[in-house]
């Protein structure tokens, strides 16, 4: 099949037959293995471009499946950089061991060319960078470096605060800040997002209870406040999430203040059945679900009837576009009409100017969120605003 020292570009899976793997050194020949059906051989050719470390010959009529380096590359592209890098390290170690076994102790220096291709180097950088970032996040959780900030969501009708979106903040011990746009995607690649998500839910409910109490004293009789928390896809698979939500719903019972869960369109569309079950369970617990960032994904209005969400948040790209072109304004007007028809409340996100606020209000949007009305701030700030 192939000879030791030849360049290799494929591995083989034996479907039927028998293959011998052997090495040759001058006159001497050493049989390494006899492989039968379902064995794989030549796999090291899939990683890097080192030559075949041994020869292979069929000892019986044999049928093989061929697996090329390209096949593997395609599959590994979607894998974690760390997984890819570990594979390459393991293969290099195997080669080294094999060569040593063949040639005796090697001279100084690496016995095997380390995988030198540029993409392997960037894999390593990516893998180690991500590992470092994950460990930093883990440490940040242990050291309580995360905070929740709260951004007010106002009723257009009377400009009163209806509730808050809870947004996570990471403040490092040296005072520097890491944006959630940078660390949430890293956390989402592992279980860390589930731990972060559970922390967010607990702290959000603690905060809601404090805000609720303050509001009852300051503005007796005013409608109850809500807090929204953001959910990531992996959290749908967190077995601790629903029990935690149930326990938190219990804490909120007897009050009409609310915890709401924000999910994005892409999260819904990627997990239709799971999401429907999740929303149904949230409904039983009295926790409304909010469709976040509408307009950044597929804008599939047709999906809205599949998911029993209570609120739609129009992404700020819509809000910005609305002020810039009459056509966008018509699109938003249409979306607002359909969402209202379906019984949804609408929040316009990212309102930064008086003009945007006026436009959104004129369209019948129910709630507003954005720097024009208030930036995300710590709980103390939200409490102080309640008194104003
Ligand atoms: P999001 O859920 O769409 O949150 C709204 C983002 O828009 C926040 O950014 C907020 O600070 C920002 N924003 C609010 N008003 C304005 C405005 O008028 N103009 C502009 N330019 N931006 C505005 P932030 O806090 O940086 O969060 C970014 C994203 O990170 C969030 O987008 C959310 O997807 C994610 N995130 C934040 N906290 C959490 C969390 O606790 N869990 C999860 N899974 N994701 C979170
Ligand atoms: Mg959100
Ligand atoms: Mg949003």
- Counting ligands in written order, which one lies closest to the CA of residue 181? 1
pLDDT higher than threshold 50 for residue 235:
yes
Closest ligand 1 atom to residue 371 Cα is 18
CATH class of 144-386: alpha beta
Percent of the chain topping pLDDT 70: 94
Q: pLDDT tens digits for 15-67?
A: 999 999 999 988 899 999 999 998 999 988 887 677 898 999 999 999 998 88
Given this model, what pLDDT does residue 110 score? 37
Report the nearest-CA residue for atom 33 of ligand 1: 230
Considering Cα of 225, then 230, then 233, then 234, what sign does the dihedral take?
A: negative
- If DSSP codes are grouped into helix, strand and coil, which group holds residue 150? strand
Å from CA of 328 to ligand 3 middle: 19
Å from CA of 245 to ligand 3 middle: 21
180 CB less than 6 Å from ligand 1? yes
d(CA 187, CA 134): 7
Pick the residue with more confidence: 264 or 297? Answer: 264
Report the nearest-CA residue for atom 10 of ligand 1: 376
232 CB less than 6 Å from ligand 1? yes
Q: Which CATH number fits domain 10-129: 3.30.1490.20, 2.60.120.10, 3.40.50.300, 3.50.40.10?
A: 2.60.120.10
Q: pLDDT tens digits for 127-166?
A: 778 888 999 999 999 999 999 999 999 999 999 999 999 9
Report the nearest-CA residue for atom 35 of ligand 1: 180
Q: Nearest to residue 181, comparing CAs of 138, 124, 144, 230?
A: 230
Given this model, what pLDDT does residue 103 score? 67
pLDDT higher than threshold 80 for residue 115:
no
Domain boundaries, the chain: 10-129, 144-386
Given this model, what pLDDT does residue 299 score? 66
pLDDT higher than threshold 80 for residue 119:
no
Angle at Cα 177 formed by Cα 171 and Cα 178, nearest 5°? 105
The span from the first CA to the last CA of the chain, in angstroms, equals 82
200 CB less than 6 Å from ligand 1? yes
208, 252 in Cβ contact below 8 A? yes
How far lies 384's CA from each of 210, 214, 215, 219, 260, in Å?
12, 9, 10, 13, 23
- Counting ligands in written order, which one lies closest to the CA of residue 233? 1
Given this model, what pLDDT does residue 146 score? 98
Q: Which whole number is the average pLDDT over 239-259? A: 91
d(CA 102, CA 52): 13
Ligand 1, pocket-test mutation among 149, 166, 180, most atoms within 8 A of CB: 180
Query: Which of the four pLDDT bands, split at 50, 70 and 90, describes residue 104?
Result: low
What token pair was written down for 315?
A: 């992404």
Closest ligand 1 atom to residue 372 Cα is 18
Given this model, what pLDDT does residue 328 score? 86
Please give the model's pTM, rounded to 2 decimal places. Answer: 0.80
Given this model, what pLDDT does residue 96 score? 80
Å from CA of 181 to ligand 1 middle: 8
Q: pLDDT tens digits for 293-329?
A: 998 877 677 778 888 899 999 999 988 888 888 888 8
Q: Which whole number is the average pLDDT over 341-357? A: 95
Q: Which whole number is the average pLDDT over 350-361? A: 94
Please report the DSSP string for 346-363 in residue order.
EEE----SHHHHHHHHHT
- What rounded mean pLDDT belongs to the chain? 88
């Amino acid at each position: 099949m192939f000879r030791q020292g030849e360049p290799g570009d494929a591995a083989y899976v034996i479907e039927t037959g028998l293959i011998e793997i052997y090495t040759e050194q001058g006159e001497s020949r050493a049989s390494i293995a006899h492989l039968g059906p379902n064995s794989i051989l030549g796999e090291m050719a899939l990683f890097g471009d080192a030559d075949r470390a041994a020869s292979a010959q069929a000892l019986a009529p044999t049928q093989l499946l061929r697996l090329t380096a390209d096949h593997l590359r395609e599959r590994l592209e979607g894998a974690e950089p760390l997984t890819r890098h570990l594979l390459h390290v393991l293969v290099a170690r195997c080669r080294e061991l094999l060569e040593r076994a063949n040639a005796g102790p090697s001279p100084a220096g690496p016995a095997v060319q380390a995988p030198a291709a540029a993409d392997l180097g960037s894999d390593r950088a990516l893998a180690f960078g991500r590992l470092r970032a994950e460990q930093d996040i883990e440490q940040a959780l242990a050291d309580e470096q995360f905070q929740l900030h709260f951004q007010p969501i106002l009723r257009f009708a009377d400009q009163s605060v209806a509730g808050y979106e809870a947004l996570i903040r990471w403040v490092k011990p040296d005072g520097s800040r890491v944006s959630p746009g940078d660390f949430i995607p890293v956390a989402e690649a592992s279980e860390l997002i589930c731990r972060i998500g559970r922390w967010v839910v607990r702290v959000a409910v603690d905060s809601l209870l404090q805000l609720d109490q303050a509001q009852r004293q300051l503005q007796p009789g005013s409608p109850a406040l809500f807090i929204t928390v953001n959910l990531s896809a992996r959290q749908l698979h967190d077995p601790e999430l629903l029990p935690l939500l149930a326990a938190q719903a219990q804490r909120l019972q007897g009050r009409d203040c609310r915890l709401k869960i924000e999910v994005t369109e892409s999260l819904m569309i990627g997990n239709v059945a799971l999401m429907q079950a999740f929303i149904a369970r949230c409904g039983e617990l009295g926790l409304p679900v909010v469709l976040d960032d509408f307009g950044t994904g597929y804008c599939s209005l047709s999906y809205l009837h599949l998911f029993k969400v209570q609120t739609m948040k129009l992404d700020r790209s819509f809000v910005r576009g609305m002020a810039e072109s009459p056509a966008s304004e018509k699109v938003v007007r249409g979306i607002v009409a359909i969402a209202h028809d379906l019984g949804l409340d609408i929040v316009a996100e990212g309102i930064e100017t008086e003009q945007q606020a006026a436009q959104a209000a004129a369209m019948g949007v129910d709630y507003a969120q954005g720097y024009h009305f208030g930036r995300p701030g710590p709980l103390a700030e939200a409490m102080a605003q309640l008194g104003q």
